[in-house]
């Protein structure tokens, strides 16, 4: 059986960045990813600048200076009332297609054994090590890191979800200020638009699955009947050039903390807990979680000590931000509440700043 010191499940931002850091520090690492790079995934493409120094170190060759800098937030209510706010720290726009591919290449260069098109089906913790059962054969590792994102993950039972969301994403061409991220509410959901590389914009929305159901599970019908009620979204859907035949979609999206350890496995990124997408901070949290866990694993001694340190650090860094995101998310997608919130925030610029601050971390 092919054995490495570390096994990482999931090659999103958390898994890829951790794999690079471990491999650069001389560790043997296998990363298992169900898809093959490059690929598009449902994710808005605004990365908070708190993670820019970290990303620059991971990918020194990438042309960071030519990516759009995003410093303004425009929010509209369901009926089109707007609020504009400067973003103190701001973000950059970069597609996941481009970023994940660059990280995957860097991981391979650093010596990571990258298994693409490889779905993990199960893992078993045994005295001799951890066995990984995949669709493309079995592997073994001494320490396991779960970074499989927002899904329920392998070897976990499906839970019945009371309320869950559908994510939908397009790449479009549409004239709008490149330094602005727009967040437009519609009934039971919200839609973000921001610029990425090459003049392309990412248009990505999240909608309560019940809203889609009440539109006969027909996305086009829902976009026509519900999203277009917001005048900003009407203009975008009427005038933009849509670059893909079909959008990328994901279902069963939920938010909240899930836990930073599963048995003896370390958990990071969305697999440990996901923040509501409107905070525009999930990617930075995935990267930050990887950076913190790398420190623990590179300098770690006993497994129990590393596990305790990881749990403590994860909780203190992320659990309050996830909770704040969940609370703010309640306001979105509701007509009277989003109108009222925009009115209140317009008259209290300090409050908007505080709310944004609650979901964001420090530069790392």
Least distance (Å) between residue 90 CB and ligand FAD:
13
Least distance (Å) between residue 278 CB and ligand FAD:
8
Within a 10 A sphere around the Cβ of 264, how many other Cβ atoms?
12
Least distance (Å) between residue 16 CB and ligand FAD:
7
Question: Residue 234 corresponds to which tokens in the numbers above?
Answer: 């009407």
Interface with ligand FAD by CB under 6 A: which residues?
Answer: 9-15, 32-35, 42-47, 119-120, 147-151, 154, 167, 204, 206, 253, 269-271, 274, 277, 280-284, 286
Tell me whether residue 143 or residue 258 sits nearer to ligand FAD (CB atom).
Answer: 258
Least distance (Å) between residue 168 CB and ligand FAD:
7
Tell me whether residue 283 or residue 355 sits nearer to ligand FAD (CB atom).
Answer: 283
Tell me whether residue 157 or residue 347 sits nearer to ligand FAD (CB atom).
Answer: 157
Tell me whether residue 277 or residue 333 sits nearer to ligand FAD (CB atom).
Answer: 277
Least distance (Å) between residue 286 CB and ligand FAD:
4
Tell me whether residue 15 or residue 68 sits nearer to ligand FAD (CB atom).
Answer: 15
Least distance (Å) between residue 116 CB and ligand FAD:
10
Cα-based distances in Å from 97 to 16, 19, 40, 43, 325: 14, 18, 5, 10, 26
Least distance (Å) between residue 302 CB and ligand FAD:
26
Tell me whether residue 320 or residue 348 sits nearer to ligand FAD (CB atom).
Answer: 320
The b-or-e profile of 68-98 (16+ CB within 10 A means b, else e) is: bebbebbbbbbeebebebebebbbbbbbbbb
Tell me whether residue 68 or residue 277 sits nearer to ligand FAD (CB atom).
Answer: 277
Cα-based distances in Å from 112 to 109, 275, 306: 7, 29, 22
- What is the enclosing helix (H) or strand (E) of 88? strand 82-93
Torsion of CA 149, 150, 156, 160, to 10 degrees: -170
Asked if the bond preceding 10 is cis, omega within 30° of 0, the reply is: no
Least distance (Å) between residue 93 CB and ligand FAD:
9
> 188: closest CA among 154, 165, 204, 160?
165
Tell me whether residue 154 or residue 347 sits nearer to ligand FAD (CB atom).
Answer: 154
Residue positions counted in the chain:
364
Give yes or no for a contact between 284 and 51, defined as CB atoms under 8 angstroms apart: yes
Compute the half-sphere exposure of residue 58: CA atoms within 13 Å on the CB side of its CA: 32
Least distance (Å) between residue 240 CB and ligand FAD:
18
**Helix 13-24 / helix 96-110 crossing angle, nearest 10 deg:** 20
Tell me whether residue 24 or residue 321 sits nearer to ligand FAD (CB atom).
Answer: 321
Question: Residue 10 corresponds to which tokens in the numbers above?
Answer: 């999931």
Question: Residue 276 corresponds to which tokens in the numbers above?
Answer: 């509501």
Distance CA(39)–CA(283), nearest Å, equals 16
């Amino acid at each position: 059986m092919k054995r490495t010191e570390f096994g990482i499940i999931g090659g999103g931002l958390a898994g890829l960045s951790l794999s690079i850091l471990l491999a650069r520090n001389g560790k043997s690492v296998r990363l298992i990813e169900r898809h093959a790079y490059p690929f598009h995934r449902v994710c808005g493409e605004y990365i908070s600048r708190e993670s820019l120094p970290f990303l620059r170190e991971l990918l020194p060759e990438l042309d960071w200076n030519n990516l759009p800098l995003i410093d303004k937030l425009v929010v509209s209510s369901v009926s089109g009332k707007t609020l504009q706010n400067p973003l103190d720290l701001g973000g950059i726009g970069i597609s996941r297609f481009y970023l994940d591919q660059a990280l995957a290449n860097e991981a391979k260069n650093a010596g990571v054994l990258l298994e693409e098109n490889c779905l993990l089906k199960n893992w078993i913790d045994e005295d001799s090590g951890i066995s990984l059962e995949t669709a493309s054969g079995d592997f073994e590792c001494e320490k396991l890191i779960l970074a499989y994102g927002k899904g329920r993950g392998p070897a976990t039972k499906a839970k019945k979800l009371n309320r869950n969301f559908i994510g939908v994403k397009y790449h479009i061409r549409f004239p709008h200020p490149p330094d602005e991220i727009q967040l437009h509410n519609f009934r039971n959901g919200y839609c973000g638009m921001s610029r990425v590389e090459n003049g392309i914009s990412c248009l990505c929305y999240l909608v309560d699955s019940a809203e889609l159901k009440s539109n006969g599970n027909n996305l086009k019908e829902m976009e026509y009947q519900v999203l277009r009620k917001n005048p900003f979204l009407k203009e975008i859907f009427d005038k933009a050039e849509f670059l893909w035949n079909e959008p990328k979609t994901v279902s069963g999206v939920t938010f909240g903390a899930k836990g930073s350890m599963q048995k003896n496995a370390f958990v990071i990124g969305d697999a440990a807990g996901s923040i509501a997408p409107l905070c525009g901070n999930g990617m930075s949290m995935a990267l930050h979680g990887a950076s913190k866990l790398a420190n623990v694993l590179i300098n770690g001694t006993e497994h129990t000590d590393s596990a305790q340190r990881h749990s403590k650090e994860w909780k203190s860094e992320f659990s309050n931000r996830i909770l704040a995101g969940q609370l703010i998310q309640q306001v979105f997608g509701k007509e009277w509440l989003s109108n009222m919130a925009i009115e209140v925030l317009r008259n209290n610029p300090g409050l908007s700043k505080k709310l944004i601050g609650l979901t964001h971390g420090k530069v790392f």
